[in-house]
């Protein structure tokens, strides 16, 4: 949504307000390049916002920025699922890079090779499942804190809710997609269903 907030805060300003209110003074809000490149980096303690989010005062931009501020708050409060997700990043990277290809080659070699690929790709699924509560919590924090801070009004928050809920559903879709990919290879290899075409 391109509708601006009544208060007129940009995404960067809104994120900074939430960080300040949470007593977090060691996280920098910075502009990054790229579309949909908004993220919080716990290592560098940077909340990076794309130009469209950083400079815009739209309800959508403010919602995205405040969601990312929610991740910084999670980090500062030692939110356990965030730490678990961070620990899974290396394994998910390996599983993402190798798992699919091992499953694919396994179709031509042997079902046990498919199982090895499923184990690797399963790391991606585990990472995505652990990501769900992290993202839902960051969204819930953003929804609550923007009202408490007066960044948006209650009627503006309705529009923000739609944007944030739609974004959260992309994480659910990723879990479903990964699960269906794994099931496809298990069925195609004959491991599930008992036949191999």
Would you say 135 and 79 are in contact if contact means Cβ atoms under 8 Å apart?
Answer: no
135 is catalytic: no
Which of the residues 68, 135, 148, 156 is marked catalytic?
A: 68
Closest by CA position to 164, among listed 79, 71, 29, 86:
71
Helix, strand, coil percentages, rounded to 5, for the chain: 70, 5, 25
Angle at 25 between CA 44 and CA 50, to 5 degrees: 55
Q: Write the DSSP symbol of residue 193.
A: T
Element (H or E) spanning 47, and its range?
A: strand 46-49
Catalytic residue numbers read: 68
């Amino acid at each position: 949504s391109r509708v601006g907030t009544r208060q007129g805060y940009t995404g960067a300003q809104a994120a900074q307000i939430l960080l300040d209110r949470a007593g977090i003074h060691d996280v920098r809000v910075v502009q990054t390049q790229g579309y949909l490149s908004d993220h919080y980096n716990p290592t560098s303690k940077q909340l990076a916002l794309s130009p469209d989010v950083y400079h815009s005062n739209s309800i959508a931009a403010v919602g995205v920025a405040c969601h990312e501020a929610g991740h910084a708050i999670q980090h500062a409060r030692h939110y356990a699922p965030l730490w678990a997700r961070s620990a899974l990043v290396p394994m998910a990277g390996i599983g993402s890079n190798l798992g699919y290809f091992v499953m694919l080659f396994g179709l031509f070699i042997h079902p046990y090779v498919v199982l090895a690929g499923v184990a690797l790709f399963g790391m991606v699924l585990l990472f995505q499942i652990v990501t769900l509560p992290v993202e839902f919590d960051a969204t819930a924090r953003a929804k609550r804190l923007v009202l408490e801070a007066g960044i948006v009004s209650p009627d503006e928050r309705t529009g923000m809710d739609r944007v944030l809920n739609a974004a959260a559903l992309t994480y659910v879709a990723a879990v479903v997609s990964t699960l269906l990919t794994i099931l496809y290879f298990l069925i195609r290899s004959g491991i599930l269903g008992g036949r191999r075409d």
